[in-house]
Amino acid sequence: MTKYIIKRLFRGLITLITFQSILFGLIQILPYDFTAFLVLSPLEQRLAQSTLGLDHPGWQQYLIWLNNFFHLDLGKSFLAWPTPVHEIIFATAPRTLLLFLSAAILAYFLGISLGKIIAWNRGGWLEFSLTLGGVASYTSFAPFLGFVILNVFGRYLHWFPYRRLVDHTIWFDAPVSVSWVLSWVVITALFSVIIMWGIFLITRGFGNTLIKWGSRLAGLSLIGSGIWIWWNKIGHGKLALDILYHLALPLSTVVLMSFGETMLLMRTTMLETLTEEYVLMAKAKGLPPRVIRDKHVARNAFLPVLTRLLLNLPFVLTGSLAIEIIFNWRAMGTVVFQAIEYQDIPLIMGILSLVGALTLLGHIFLDILYLFLDPRLRYAERK
C-alpha cells in the first residue's frame, strides 16, 4: 500500500512538471515578451528585461522558475511589478471562493435533490420538463444568461444591484477594506455550513419527524442569530449584508448554469443503481419507497457525483470568465485573462500551477481512496 502511494505521488509529480513545461513552452513560443507592451527605448527595454529576468534563454527562465516553484516562491507579477504572485492570489481568492465555491456547492445540492426526484418519478411530465430544463441550463450561453438576468432583475425590476461589488454609499467611510470583510464572509459561510452539516448528522437518529425538524430549525436559527450578533458586535454586519446583496445576481446565474449537469448525472447513476438486486430486496422487505430512494439508491448513486465534484472543484478557482466580465466581478478568471493578454508569465504560471496541483492532488486522493474502498483493486495491486 505504502509503495503504491509513493509510486502514485511520484507519477503525480512528473505529471505536474510536464504540465508546467507545456504551459511555459506555450507562453515562450511568442516572439515578444511583456516589455513589448511598455513604451521604452531599446536600452530601457533591455534594462527592463534584465530586471524581470527575461534576458535569459527560454529554458533557463523555465529552470529558474521551476526552482523557485519548488521553494514555494511563485515570483513577482510583471503587471503589478513588485507585488508577489501569492499576494495577488490571496487577495483575489476570497472573491472567487465566495462566488464560485458557494455556487458550486449550491448547484450540487440542488442538482442532487432534483436528480433524485426525477429518477424516481420516471416517465411523467415532471421528468420530461426537468430534463429539458436541465439540458437547456447546461447548454445555455453563459454571457447571454448573465446578461438577461442582469437586465431583467437589475436594470428593469431594480430588485438587486448589478455591475458593482459593493455599494459606495454604505462603504463611504467604512473602517475596513472590502477584502477583509470578504474573507470573513467566506470564513463565516464555511463555518456555518460545517455546523449545519453537524446538526443534520446529529438529528438524523431522532425518530419523531416533528422533534427532528423542530430541533433542526431551532439549531439553525440559533446559529443564524449567533452569526448575526457576532457580525453586529464587530460592527460590520451592514457591510457583510451589502456584499451578500450584491452577490445575489451572479450567484444565481452560476447556480442556474451549473445545476443541470449534476442533475442529469445524478439521474443516470440513480437509474443504474435502481437495477441492482438489493433494491429489489429492499422492496421485497416491504420498506417504504421513500426509505428505498434515500437510503438504498441515492446513497450508492451519490459516489460518482461526489467524485465529479471533487475533480471539478479546483477549476472553480479559474471560475467562469464570462460571468466575471458580465457582472464586473473582478476575481481570478479576470486576472488570468489579463495576465494572458500581457504575457505576465509568473502570474499565469502561478495560478494555473496552483489549479493543476490541486486537481492532481484530488486525482491522487481519489485513487488512494478507491484502493481503500475496493478490495478488488487492492488485490490486483498486491499481485
Partner 1 sequence: MTPNPKNEVSSSSWSLFLNLNKARLTQLNKNWMRFRAHPTGMIGLGLIFFFLLMLVIHPVLMNTIWRPSIYDPYIGFDQVLKMHPTLPSLKHPLGTDGMGHDILSQLMYGARMSFSVGITSAITAVLISTLVGGVAGFSGGIADVILMGISDVFILLPALIVLLLLGTLVRLSWWSISIIFGILMGLGSQSIVVKAQTLAMKSKVYIEAARIAGGSDFHIFFNHILPGLIPLAIVHAVMTVVGAVLTESLLSFFSRTHDYMTWGSMIWVGHRTFRWFNYGGQWSSLIPPAMSIMLFCSAFYLVGRSSDKIFNPRLREKEIVN
Query: Could you list the residues that contact partner 1 (CB under 8 A)?
Result: 11, 14-15, 18-19, 22-23, 26-27, 29-30, 120, 122, 128, 131-132, 135-136, 138-144, 147, 151, 155-156, 264, 268, 271-272, 274-275, 279-280, 283, 289, 292, 315, 318, 321-322, 336-337, 340-341, 343, 348, 352, 355-356, 359-360, 363
Min dist CB 35 to partner 1, Å, is 15
- Residue closer to partner 1, measured from CB, 216 or 308: 308
Q: C-alpha angle with apex 278: 275 to 281, nearest 5 degrees?
A: 110
SS (HEC) of the chain: CHHHHHHHHHHHHHHHHHHHHHHHHHHHCCCCCHHHHCCCCHHHHHHHHHHHCCCCCHHHHHHHHHHHHHCCCCCECCCCCCCEHHHHHHHHHHHHHHHHHHHHHHHHHHHHHHHHHHHHCCCCHHHHHHHHHHHHHHHCCHHHHHHHHHHHHHHHCCCCCCCCCCCCCCCCCCCCCHHHHHHHHHHHHHHHHHHHHHHHHHHCCCCCHHHHHHHHHHHHHHHHHHHHHHHHHHCCHHHHHHHHHHHHHHHHHHHHHHHHHHHHHHHHHHHHHHCCHHHHHHHHHCCCHHHHHHHHHHHHHHHHHHHHHHHHHHHHCCCCHHHHHHCCCCCHHHHHHHHHHCCCHHHHHHHHHHHHHHHHHHHHHHHHHHHHHCHHHHHHHHC
Nearer to partner 1, 122 or 164 (CB): 122
The nearest distance, CB 139 to partner 1, in angstroms, is: 4
How does 254-273 read in b/e, with b if 16+ C-beta sit within 10 Å? bbbbbbbbbbbbbbebbbeb
Supply the minimum distance, in Å, between the C-beta of residue 59 and partner 1: 18
The distance of closest approach from Cβ of residue 184 to partner 1 in the complex, given in angstroms and rounded to an integer, is: 30
Shortest distance (Å) from residue 5 CB to partner 1: 16
The CB-of-102 to partner 1 minimum distance in angstroms stands at: 21
Q: Nearer Cβ to partner 1, position 22 or 201? A: 22
Contact 18, 381 (CB under 8 A): no
The Cα 83–Cα 51 span in angstroms is 14
- Least distance from partner 1 to the Cβ atom of residue 283, Å: 5
At closest approach, how far in Å is the CB of 46 from partner 1?
23
Q: In angstroms, give the least distance from the CB of 69 to partner 1.
A: 15
